[in-house]
Amino acid sequence: MVMEDIDLGDRRVLIDLIYGPQKIDEVVKTPPDSSQPLTTPAATPIPNKETPKKIKAKKTRKDCPFSTVVLIILLAIFAGFLSGYIGYWITREKYEAQLAALRGMTGVRRNTTQIIVEEEPYEEEEPPVGPTVEELRLPDALEPVWYNGTLKMYLPGYVELPEGKNFTTDGNIMIRLAVKKPTDEIVLNAKDLTFPTDVNKVKILTERPASRARRQTMVDSPEMKNSTEDGMANSTREKLKNTTGTSGGIPIDEMEIVEDEPVESPVKRLMLVEGGPKVKKILYNSSLEKVFFTLDSPLEAGTSVVLQLPFNGRIPDNLTGIFFSSYKKVDGDSSLLAVMDCQPASARKLFPSFDEPSFVAPLTLTILHPNGTTARGNAMEITDAEPTSDPLWVKTSLDVARSLPTSSTGFTLTNFDKAQTTTDTGTKIRVYARPEAINLTGYALDTSVKAFEFLQKYLAVPPRSTKLDVFALPELSKEAMCGDGLILVREDRLLYDPQVDSIETKVQVAQTICHEFTKQWFGNVMGDSDLKALWLNEAMAKYMEYICVENIFAGLDKNSLQTVDSMEQALLDDARSSSHPMSIEVVSPSGVTLMSDEITNDKGAALLRMLNAVIGEEKFQRGVQDFLKAHHDHSDNTEKQNLFDAWNNVVLDLKSWDGEKLNVGDFIDKWIKQMGYPVVEIYRIDPHTVELTQRRFKLDHLTPEKAKYRNALYWYKWDVPIFYQLNGKPQDMVWLHEAIRLPLNVSDEILINPDSLGFYRVNYDDEGWAEIARQLELDHTKYSPSARARFISDALALAEAGMLPYETAFAVISYLPKETDYLPWSVAVTALDNFYNRLSDSDLEESANEFVLEKLTPIFKLIDLGSLNFDNGDDFLASTTRRRIAKLYCKLSPDVCNEKLSNQFKKNLLAQCDKNSSIASACSKVPSIGRSMVYCVGVAEGGDKDFKKIHELSRDEVNTAERTRLTEALACSKDPRKLRNLLYESIESEDGAVRKSNVQQLVTAMNDQLVGAEIITDFVLDNWKELTNRFAQDPGNLQAVLGNALDLNSEREIKQFERFLVDHKATTRDLDALKSQLETARNRQHWLKANRNTIKDLLSSNNNEKEL
């Protein structure tokens, strides 16, 4: 056994390693759980082994070095300490059991229902194909001080362009470089860019020595004061202003970018001239995404030079980096736009740069663009659409964008209209949308002002940017993204029509705005000096999102919203082997991308809420304010306190589990540096005492973690804050480190984590769960809605993981027909849908169907399906839960729903759109919150004519949200031929109903339908090459598509998919979504084998009771 195969969190493995494995015939009466103290094993005599007599050798004297003696002594001390530590744990349980017997106690009871499964042998991760991380990283000999770029954008559709120039760019970039180490090579990131073959067009410029008079005028300039190595590396906006004498940075006055003309000195005070080293060779390596400039002599450490570099690029349609998109106008014509997104590794597609998160520098950008378009970027415009000597072209010069990683760089080139306002503190907020949709931006603009004013008051400092531009884009690879001063949002997350849209859409728009606005304060402040802290960027934005939305919607509870919106999903995702720690070493742009996935967002927000509950809202807020104020007041100093230091400075009287002052960083480290989370187990050990212990909660016992995460830094143990109630009254928080005992009389009732403030699950003992089930059946309102939601979520998850009998879990949810509150129901709907899906391909499907419908029927009867009254005024949670209840009920009992929904489809969609308009968003009279259900049933129950009509409406639709609903409806067809054609359309053409940005929604919807699920997996596997080619430049979107496109329901399908992964190893090895799907499928098959008989008996018993 090698150390990498050992789970260091399992003490039994450690004991076997020391004492040897247990004999087969040896009997252990009660197998201990890995989280409890272990019984000392019976001493086993060491068997005598006959050994041959040793031949007496001639004695020779050997000297033992003093260092060896010291080493032996230290090893002996360590071995003694280790044996004492292990001895404590392996004797603890036996000692406690004997003590309990002497006192007449009830022995500690452990739940023995967990399915103990040996993990399948796993293959170690193979070394990656292609460049290593070290090869991809830039050398550290140079650092950027500032960038100054000019771009000419050849976007067709506005003016006549030169032949061959459509969707291309010409560029010229000037980069001031601080030389940290001697080097004869300049290396920059670049992707899909071309460079001159003539090395003389690439220039190395140096500063011309100034005359005495000129030196006198420059003596007080920041450039002179900061000519040290550190000063150069931390150039700021003010430095560039003083360097150039203007607010525009270092202007390149309408330079013809690729023509070989003499370049005037681009600096007004710093006279730059050619001199020193020259470029003798240019090499572009597409695999490394780098361009190398070899010099004829080395640059000296401590100096600085300016690299001037012309280049050419292109504007593809892949939704990543710089890309073009289009939208349809009401008259049927299309308009084009170009976007530079704000994502890791995107800037290298726009201009050559130091495109790694550790390199920061200010940027000045000038854009030459076709007349009739508007250019916007991170910084405010100095000149906007200024005429040039060519009437077809205009120039927009942007102010200096502050020092940021290139991943924050973004700009747009559109013909959009805008709605704007100015806040009380002078920040300009502008919302841009296509001209036909500008009237739908009013709510977004109003919410933006509210969110901005709330955040500025809560955080007590202004944002860095003096303006915020928010763009509603028809297509985007994510729902939203932002850079400094620029926010890009997909239309369906920003536009709101009060005549059509529901409260659900309204809250989602507010969530998006609050989330992205928060980043304008935090942005890249966290992680400047420690890239492992980048997770805080997304986590803080997600957490503040709920606080901000609660401020906007007075009746919305932030804790309830966060629980159902993100925490429950985080508990599910982080319980799988495919999860990952939140704080990892960031060595490449892909590492930054991993920092912004759902686990990081949702779990990070939950951890911040837990921290808030530990230290209190006042200290939490004060720590955040102090942190931001320190960074705001000292923008040039990145070596300053981190956020955890700020919290430590305000948390002076709070103790940790060991009685010492709480160190916030140490507490959080245990939650972010290892994946997963604990389940807190509570047992009564005598009539007056309960004991709480912890162990890792894991849904999947089959699949091992990635090798690099397997042996967790803290052995999968956490410092757990226990929030609890006694007899309905909140108690002071206590710490759980290893185990803790609390006084509790038999007549008392304890509830752990009833408000979901802690990121963990709770497993009560048998009597505890039985009492909860009895009380829920008797009067469930004794417990708060949040407590009831916690019971449902934990009971069913524990049963799925094999840590709780399904008999107990079913007893807990048996009260659901009496439940009327939407917080517990929001959790229950997800759990019941999951339970049914696990049995849908088995012989228990019919019984499972009846079981779930029995729970849903009373609450479903409160919904008027004929009028689709899902919308419950301003109660967001009630509205969205009513819609989800109706969707699940109609999925299981279509006969009850189809007639009413089909009538809505015919009366309020087909009839209206046939006579009024071909744009569904304009002609449909179906309430928006119910449109997805109505459209789906209409297609499923309709004929060829209905399918064709929806296909046409989807192709012609101008509203992104409505187009998505129509595309998803097409997936509801019961005709396999139509579905396959639709899938082919999704990977072959942009002209049809399915655009690239809609493929994920299409496959998700298809996988949720009976017929669609039968063909989707085979289609993906059979058309793998075409699918990967479609998303070759958009791996994030490909991951999202694959995460929803596979449906493996049998051992045969799993084995087929495993063979596929082996056969296509080169193109699948980096797609974690496939590994996650395989893990889920294996776990589902094992779960069915392990639980089928038990669940069959329970469902039969339930049916019998119903008949009685």
Q: How far apart, in whole angstroms, are the C-alpha atoms of residue 296 and residue 197?
A: 17
pLDDT digits (tens, 9 = 90+) for 143-193: 999 999 999 999 999 999 999 999 999 999 999 999 999 999 999 999 999
Give the per-residue pLDDT at 84: 59
Domain tally, the chain: 2
Q: How confident is the model at residue 1030 (pLDDT cuts 50, 70, 90)?
A: confident
* In the predicted structure, residue 13 carries a pLDDT above the cut 60: no
Q: How confident is the model at residue 454 (pLDDT cuts 50, 70, 90)?
A: very high
Residue 356 lies in a domain: yes
Structural domain span for residue 961: 898-972
6-to-11, 584, 1036 alpha-carbon distances in Å: 10, 22, 34
Binding residues: 515, 538
Q: What is the DSSP letter of 997?
A: G
Give the per-residue pLDDT at 794: 98
* In the predicted structure, residue 420 carries a pLDDT above the cut 80: yes
Give the per-residue pLDDT at 335: 96
CA-wise closest residue to 179 among 145, 220, 213: 145
Q: For the ranges 589-593, 952-956, 1010-1014, which has the lowest average pLDDT? A: 589-593
Q: Give the burial class of 834: count Cβ atoms within 10 A of its Cβ; 0-12 exposed, 13-18 middle, 19 or more buried.
A: middle
Q: And the tokens for 249?
A: 């940075």
Give the per-residue pLDDT at 525: 65
Q: 845 and 826 in contact (C-beta within 8 Å)?
A: no
CA-wise closest residue to 490 among 627, 325, 726: 325
Q: How far apart, in whole angstroms, are the C-alpha atoms of residue 484 and residue 474?
A: 21
Q: Tell me the pairing of strands 361-370 and 142-154.
A: parallel
* In the predicted structure, residue 128 carries a pLDDT above the cut 70: no
Residue 201 lies in a domain: yes
Sign for the CA dihedral angle at 60, 65, 70, 76 comes to: negative
Give the per-residue pLDDT at 958: 87
* In the predicted structure, residue 966 carries a pLDDT above the cut 60: yes
Residue 318 lies in a domain: yes
Give the residue ranges of DSSP H helices in 418-530: 442-459, 503-518
Q: How confident is the model at residue 1105 (pLDDT cuts 50, 70, 90)?
A: low
Q: DSSP assignment of 276-319, as one string?
A: S--EEEEEEETTTTEEEEEEEEEEPTT-EEEEEEEEEEE--SSS
Q: How far apart, in whole angstroms, are the C-alpha atoms of residue 750 and residue 758?
A: 16
Q: How confident is the model at residue 381 (pLDDT cuts 50, 70, 90)?
A: very high
Dihedrals phi, psi of 156, to nearest 5 degrees: -75, 165
Q: 721 and 609 in contact (C-beta within 8 Å)?
A: no
Give the per-residue pLDDT at 1029: 84
pLDDT digits (tens, 9 = 90+) for 869-884: 666 666 889 999 999 9
Mind spelling out the 3-state secondary structure of 353-393?
ECCCCCCCEEEEEEEEEECCCEEEECCCEEEEEEECCCCCE
Give the per-residue pLDDT at 99: 37
Q: How far apart, in whole angstroms, are the C-alpha atoms of residue 1072 and residue 1059?
A: 17
Q: How far apart, in whole angstroms, are the C-alpha atoms of residue 891 and residue 604?
A: 34
Q: Tell me the pairing of strands 381-387 and 428-433.
A: unpaired
Q: How confident is the model at residue 702 (pLDDT cuts 50, 70, 90)?
A: confident
* In the predicted structure, residue 780 carries a pLDDT above the cut 70: yes
* In the predicted structure, residue 791 carries a pLDDT above the cut 70: yes
Dihedrals phi, psi of 170, to nearest 5 degrees: -110, 140
* In the predicted structure, residue 244 carries a pLDDT above the cut 90: no
CA-wise closest residue to 1009 among 874, 866, 894: 894
226-to-148, 247, 306, 637, 894 alpha-carbon distances in Å: 19, 19, 16, 13, 72
Q: How confident is the model at residue 219 (pLDDT cuts 50, 70, 90)?
A: very low
Residue 289 lies in a domain: yes
Give the per-residue pLDDT at 180: 97
Which residues, at least 6 apart from 30, have a Cβ–Cβ distance to it below 8 Å?
110, 112
Return the percentage of the chain with pLDDT > 70, whole number: 79
Check 516, 705, 957, 985 and give the catalytic one.
Answer: 516
- Among 919, 948, 972, the domain-final residue is 972
* In the predicted structure, residue 1078 carries a pLDDT above the cut 50: yes
What is the residue-averaged pLDDT of the chain?
A: 83
Binding residues for Zn(2+): 515, 538
* In the predicted structure, residue 106 carries a pLDDT above the cut 60: no
The pLDDT of 407-433, averaged and rounded, is 95
Which residues, at least 6 apart from 551, have a Cβ–Cβ distance to it below 8 Å?
450, 454
Dihedral angle, C-alpha 178, 181, 184, 189, nearest 10 °: -60
Give the per-residue pLDDT at 270: 61
Give the per-residue pLDDT at 100: 35
Residue 690 lies in a domain: no
pLDDT digits (tens, 9 = 90+) for 799-811: 999 999 999 999 9
Return the percentage of the chain with pLDDT > 90, whole number: 58
* In the predicted structure, residue 830 carries a pLDDT above the cut 80: yes
* In the predicted structure, residue 250 carries a pLDDT above the cut 70: no
CB count within 10 Å of CB 238 equals 14
* In the predicted structure, residue 206 carries a pLDDT above the cut 60: yes
- Among 939, 972, 1005, the domain-final residue is 972
Q: How far apart, in whole angstroms, are the C-alpha atoms of residue 385 and residue 121?
A: 63
Give the per-residue pLDDT at 1075: 84
Residue 930 lies in a domain: yes
The secondary element (H helix, E strand) that includes residue 150 is strand 142-154
Residue 607 lies in a domain: no
Give the per-residue pLDDT at 750: 97
Give the per-residue pLDDT at 187: 98
* In the predicted structure, residue 58 carries a pLDDT above the cut 50: no
* In the predicted structure, residue 932 carries a pLDDT above the cut 80: yes
Give the per-residue pLDDT at 1034: 75
Q: And the tokens for 757?
A: 């403030």
* In the predicted structure, residue 640 carries a pLDDT above the cut 70: no
Give the per-residue pLDDT at 212: 44
The pLDDT of 530-542, averaged and rounded, is 79
- Bridge partner list, 682: 692
Give the per-residue pLDDT at 224: 30
Give the per-residue pLDDT at 875: 83
514 vs 707, more confident: 514
Give the residue ranges of DSSP H helices in 916-1050: 920-923, 931-941, 944-956, 960-970, 976-988, 999-1007, 1010-1022, 1024-1030, 1035-1045
**Could you identify the residue written with the tokens 């003016």?**
159
Residue 937 lies in a domain: yes
CA 15-20-23 angle, to 5 degrees, is 110
The pLDDT of 27-32, averaged and rounded, is 36
1051 carries an active-site annotation: no
The pLDDT of 559-574, averaged and rounded, is 96
Q: How far apart, in whole angstroms, are the C-alpha atoms of residue 900 and residue 641?
A: 61
* In the predicted structure, residue 116 carries a pLDDT above the cut 60: no
Q: What share of the chain is helix, strand, coil (3-state, %, to 5)?
A: 45, 15, 40
**Length of the chain, please?**
1108
Give the per-residue pLDDT at 587: 56
Give the per-residue pLDDT at 501: 86
Buried b (16+ CB within 10 A) or exposed e, 858-878: ebbeebebeebbbbbeebbbb
pLDDT digits (tens, 9 = 90+) for 572-616: 999 999 898 988 766 555 556 656 788 889 999 999 999 999 999
177: CATH:
2.60.40.1730
Sign for the CA dihedral angle at 651, 656, 658, 659 comes to: positive
Q: 410 and 341 in contact (C-beta within 8 Å)?
A: yes
- Among 956, 972, 988, the domain-final residue is 972
Give the per-residue pLDDT at 93: 43
pLDDT digits (tens, 9 = 90+) for 317-368: 888 899 999 998 888 899 999 999 888 888 999 999 999 888 989 999 999 9
Q: How confident is the model at residue 1031 (pLDDT cuts 50, 70, 90)?
A: confident
* In the predicted structure, residue 72 carries a pLDDT above the cut 80: no
Q: How far apart, in whole angstroms, are the C-alpha atoms of residue 335 and residue 321?
A: 20
Q: How far apart, in whole angstroms, are the C-alpha atoms of residue 314 and residue 20?
A: 64
* In the predicted structure, residue 1041 carries a pLDDT above the cut 90: no
41 vs 530, more confident: 530
The pLDDT of 287-301, averaged and rounded, is 96
CA-wise closest residue to 889 among 862, 852, 851, 926: 852
Buried b (16+ CB within 10 A) or exposed e, 723-743: bbbeeeeeeeeebbeeebebe
The pLDDT of 56-66, averaged and rounded, is 50
**Could you identify the residue written with the tokens 């710490």?**
735
Q: 395 and 366 in contact (C-beta within 8 Å)?
A: yes
